[in-house]
């Protein structure tokens, strides 16, 4: 009896596990075109979510469900995978919910095949590369044009710099010419002042008495001759004196 109960239990668990199939309804639409566009925008906006279907064994589809069209992720056979994927989808689609999977009554289910998506991505990559090349070519052309303009402008700038230097030199020369007469006038004024001072010094000051004699001696005699004359007079005096004494004896 126990063996029979265990066999029935194992069969029940096996059928329940095999019957586990869920889906995640992401959003609903009124027409098939809207659902197809919704799937395309989902793939374009959320590529990381779309890649989960490759690793976890389910597909994203746009199909009819009753009166409406739905964007759905199905079929989930594992509860853990379902929960992890549902949490990520719920962050982007707030109205998403989990439901039991049942095969669609309408066999015409429109899905985007992965091969077609890959081909579209390759085409887009090629187009992007072409656009990048065009942009690089335009940049190179612009750089070449700038270099040519600079080559044309450089000699003009040099000539203008030379003209400016010539003008500066002319201005300096004019300033020097202006400064020269001013310096000459200053020198003339200084010379005139010196002359006036010399004239003031050379003017005789009134002297009296002994000062007049000393000034006269300084002008007309030399003091050495005066000293010799004094010595001569002293010698003459003593000579006459000795002669008188000699005559008396």
Q: Which DSSP string do the residues of 118-179 spell out, in sequence order?
A: HHHHHHHHHHHHHHHHHHHHHHHHHHHHHHHHHHHHHHHHHHHHHHHHHHHHHHHHHHHHHH
Q: Which of 76-80, 111-115, 157-161, 174-178 has the lowest mean pLDDT?
A: 111-115
User: Looking at residue 31, what is its pLDDT?
Assistant: 92
User: Looking at residue 177, what is its pLDDT?
Assistant: 65
Average pLDDT, the chain: 76
User: Looking at residue 219, what is its pLDDT?
Assistant: 57
User: Looking at residue 231, what is its pLDDT?
Assistant: 86
Asked whether residue 212 carries a pLDDT value surpassing 60, the answer given is: no
Asked whether residue 22 carries a pLDDT value surpassing 90, the answer given is: yes
Q: Report the run of H or E that residue 241 belongs to, with start and end.
A: helix 223-248
| Pair 76, 23: CB distance under 8 Å | yes
Radius of gyration (Cα) for the chain, nearest Å? 64
Q: Which of 14-18, 73-77, 190-194 has the lowest mean pLDDT?
A: 14-18
Determine the straight-line distance between the first and last CA of the chain, rounded to whole angstroms: 205
Q: What is the mean pLDDT of residues 6-12?
A: 47
Our CA angle for 234, 239, 243, nearest 5°, is: 150
Return phi, psi of residue 244, to 5°.
-65, -45
User: Looking at residue 60, what is its pLDDT?
Assistant: 93
Does the pTM surpass 0.75? The reply is: no
User: Looking at residue 117, what is its pLDDT?
Assistant: 64
Is the CATH number of domain 18-111 3.30.365.10? no
CA 16/CA 131 separation, integer angstroms: 55
**pLDDT tens, position by position, 142-196:** 888 877 777 767 677 777 777 788 888 877 777 776 665 655 566 667 667 666 6
User: Looking at residue 187, what is its pLDDT?
Assistant: 63
Name the token pair of 65: 């469900």
**pLDDT tens, position by position, 28-48:** 999 999 999 999 999 999 998
């Amino acid at each position: 009896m126990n063996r029979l109960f265990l066999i029935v239990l194992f069969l029940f668990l096996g059928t329940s596990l095999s019957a586990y199939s869920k889906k995640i309804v992401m959003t609903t639409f009124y027409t098939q075109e809207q659902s197809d566009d919704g799937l395309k925008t989902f793939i374009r906006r959320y590529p990381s979510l779309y890649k989960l279907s490759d690793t976890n064994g389910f597909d994203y589809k746009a199909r009819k469900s009753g009166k409406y069209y739905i964007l759905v992720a199905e079929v989930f056979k594992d509860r853990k995978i379902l929960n992890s994927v549902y949490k990520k989808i719920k962050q982007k689609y707030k109205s998403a919910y989990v439901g039991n999977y049942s095969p669609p009554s309408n066999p015409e289910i429109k899905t985007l095949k992965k091969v077609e998506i890959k081909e579209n991505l390759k085409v887009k990559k090629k187009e992007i590369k072409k656009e990048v090349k065009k942009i690089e070519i335009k940049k190179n052309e612009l750089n070449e044009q700038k270099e040519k303009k600079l080559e044309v402008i450089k000699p003009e700038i040099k000539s203008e710099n030379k003209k400016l230097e010539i003008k500066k030199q002319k201005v300096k020369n004019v300033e020097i010419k202006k400064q020269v007469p001013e310096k000459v006038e200053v020198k003339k004024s200084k010379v005139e002042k010196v002359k006036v001072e010399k004239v003031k010094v050379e003017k005789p000051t009134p002297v009296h008495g002994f000062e007049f004699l000393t000034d006269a001696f300084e002008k007309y005699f030399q003091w050495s001759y005066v000293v010799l004359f004094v010595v001569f007079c002293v010698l003459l005096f003593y000579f006459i004196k000795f002669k008188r004494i000699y005559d008396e004896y």
